[in-house]
Chains A and B, each alone.
Chain A
Amino acid sequence: MRAIRRRDGGVPLPLLVPAVLGTAFLVLPLVGLVVRAPWSGIAPQLARPEVGSALRLSLLSATAATAASLLLGVPIAWVLARSRIRGRSVLRALVTVPLVLPPVVGGVALFLVLGRQGILGRPLFEQLGVTIPFTTAAVVIAETFVAMPFLVISVEGALRAADARFEDAAATLGADRWTTFRRVTLPLVAPGVAAGAVLCWARALGEFGATITFAGNFPGTTQTMPLAVYLALQRDPEAAIVLSLVLLAVSLGTLLLLRDRWLGRSTAG
C-alpha cells in the first residue's frame, strides 16, 4: 500500500523545490501579461481586422513550416540516427546551426541565398521573374529554417531510444529498408515525431527575427502575430499585451488539443 502511494503522489523534496521554482520562473511572466492586460479594452483590440489576418497568417505559415520540416527533417533525423555514412557528427552540427544563429542573421543569410541578388534567388529572378522575399512563401521559408532543427533533434532522439531489434526482425523477414522505415520505424517513433512536430510548430509560431528580416512586414502578406506584437509595442504597449495573449491562448489551446489527440490521455497525463 505504501509503495503504491509513493508512486502515485510522492515527489522527493530535492526535486519538488526546484520543480516548483522552475515552474514559477516560466509561468510568472505569463501571469504578468494576464494581470497587466487591459481587459475592458480587449474587445475593440480584437476587432481590428489586422489582428485576424495576422493570426490567420501565423497559424497557416507555422503549419506549413511544420509540414515542410516533417517532410525534410524526419529523413535527416533517420540519416543521423541510423545510417553509417561518414561525417554524421559534422552533418548534425550543420543542421543544428539555426539553433545557435541569431534569427536576424539567419534572415540575412536567407537573403544571400534566396534574395533577388542571392546565389539561387538571382537566377530565379532573372530567368523566371520569381522573387521570394516579401512573400508569404518567404515567411514559411524563414520559419522552417529556424524551427526544423527542433524537429530533427527530437526525432533523432526518439530513433536512438527506439529498439532497433524490431527493424532487424523486419529485415530478417525480408522487408527492404524503405518498407522497414515506413511499416516499423515510423510507427515506433510516432510519439517522438509528434512531440518534435509540436515543438517545431510552436517555435515557428513565435518566430520573429528571421521572418521580419527575410520576409519583411506587410499586413496580410507577411505580418505574423509576433511582428504585429512588436510593432504594436512601438505605439501602444497595451495593444501589444492583448495581441500577445491572443497568440498565447491560441497556441496553448492548440498544443493541449493536439496532445490529447496524438499522444493519448495516458501519456499526456
Chain B
Amino acid sequence: MRRLLALISLLTVAGCAGPATGGTGTVPRSSDDGLTGTVTVFAAASLTDVFTTLGAQLERDNPQLTVQFNFAGSSALAAQLVQGAPADVFASANPQQMAVVTEAGLAAAEPAVFAGNVLEIAVPAGNPAGVTGLADFADPDLTLALCAADVPCGAAASAVFADAGITPRPDTEEEDVKAALTKVQLGEVDAALVYATDVRAAGADVEGIPFPQAEREVNEYPICALAAAPAPAGARAFVDLVTSDAGRSALVAAGFRAP
C-alpha cells in the first residue's frame, strides 16, 4: 500500500507541476520591497523535490510572489523553450540541453553550474534479485531498466558502461529517469540505473547501490535566467537562491554534489 501511495504521489508531482500555493491576493502582510508576480521555472525532473522546497522558501520570503514549476526531462524542456514556451528560469540536468537553449539565444546570462549528480543502482526494497554491482547489468536473466541513450541519464549510463567495459542488456530503455524509477518502485524490474538523488527521493521502496565507476561521470546541472523572462527580477531571485549557501545545503541534503 505504501508503495502504491508513493507511486501516486510521484505521478501527481510529475503530472501537475502547477503553482504550489494559491493566489497572492489573500496574503495579509504587505511588503513594499518584496517581489511580485509569478516566476515560471522549467527544471529537470530530478530537481522536483528540492526545487519545490526552494520555491516555497522564496514565496515565504516574498509573499506577493508565486513560483510555478514545469518539471520534465531536460530535453523536452529545452525543446519547449526553443519553441517559445514562456518561462523565466531554466535548470537543466546536463550541459548539452542547456547548450540547446543558449545557442538559440534564449539565456539572459552565462549559465552557472549549481549541482552535480552521480548515477546509482536502484533496486526494489530488499533487493530480491541480489544485485551487487554494475556487472549485473550484463545478466540476461535479470529484468533491467536503463534510460534511453537520447536522454541525459541514458547518456551518462552509456558513458559509465563504456568506462567499465560492460555491455548492458536492458529490457527497457525508459524515456526519463522517473519512469525508470517507477518500474523499480513497482518491483517490475530487478534494477535500474538512476541518479543518487532519485534513490534518495524514492524513500523506503527503493534501495541504492553506489558503484565506483559513477564518480567519473558526475553530471553537471546548469541554471540560468532566460532573456525573454516575463518576471526578470523574480528569475534572478530564484537563480540567486539556488546558487546561495542555503540552496546548496538543500541540494546536498537531497543527495546532489556541490559544484
Chain A positions within 8 Å of B, measured between CB atoms, are: 102, 104-105, 108, 111-112, 115-117, 131, 133-134, 212-213, 215-219, 222-223, 227, 230-235, 237
A131: min CB distance to chain B, Å: 7
Q: Complex Cα distance A111/B4, Å? A: 11
CB-CB < 8 A to A237: which residues of B? 79
CB-CB < 8 A to A217: which residues of B? 148, 172-175
Of all chain B residues, which has the CB nearest A132? B188
Q: Complex Cα distance A208/B151, Å? A: 17
- Contact status A108-B182, CB under 8 Å: yes
Contact residue among A134, A215, A234 (Cβ-Cβ distance under 8 Å from B150): A234
Q: Complex Cα distance A111/B171, Å? A: 15
A136: min CB distance to chain B, Å: 12
B187 in the interface (beta carbon within 8 A):
yes
CB-CB < 8 A to A234: which residues of B? 73, 75-76, 79, 148, 150-151, 175
- Classify the interface of chain B: helix, strand, loop or mixed: mixed
- Contact status B73-A117, CB under 8 Å: no
Q: Complex Cα distance A117/B145, Å? A: 16
B6 in the interface (beta carbon within 8 A):
no
A222-B75 contact in complex given A131-B143, A217-B148, C-beta closer than 8 Å: no
- Contact status A212-B143, CB under 8 Å: no
B:124-159 near A, CB below 8 Å: 143, 145, 148, 150-151
Contact residue among B4, B150, B173, B186 (Cβ-Cβ distance under 8 Å from A115): B186
Q: Complex Cα distance A213/B145, Å? A: 12
CB-CB < 8 A to B182: which residues of A? 108, 213
Q: Complex Cα distance A134/B148, Å? A: 14
> Would you mind naming 23 contact pairs between A and B with Cβ atoms under 8 Å apart?
A102-B15, A105-B11, A108-B7, A108-B11, A108-B186, A111-B188, A112-B4, A115-B186, A115-B187, A116-B143, A116-B187, A117-B188, A133-B143, A134-B143, A134-B171, A212-B179, A216-B145, A216-B171, A216-B172, A222-B172, A230-B175, A231-B175, A235-B75
Q: Complex Cα distance A223/B172, Å? A: 9
Q: Complex Cα distance A38/B183, Å? A: 36
CB-CB < 8 A to B148: which residues of A? 217, 231, 234
Q: Which of B75, B76, B170, B175 has the most CB of A within 10 A?
A: B175
A122: min CB distance to chain B, Å: 9
- Contact status A117-B186, CB under 8 Å: yes
CB-CB < 8 A to B183: which residues of A? 216
CB-CB < 8 A to A112: which residues of B? 4, 186
Q: Complex Cα distance A120/B188, Å? A: 13
CB-CB < 8 A to B150: which residues of A? 231-232, 234-235
Contact residue among B15, B151, B172 (Cβ-Cβ distance under 8 Å from A134): B172
Q: Complex Cα distance A116/B145, Å? A: 14
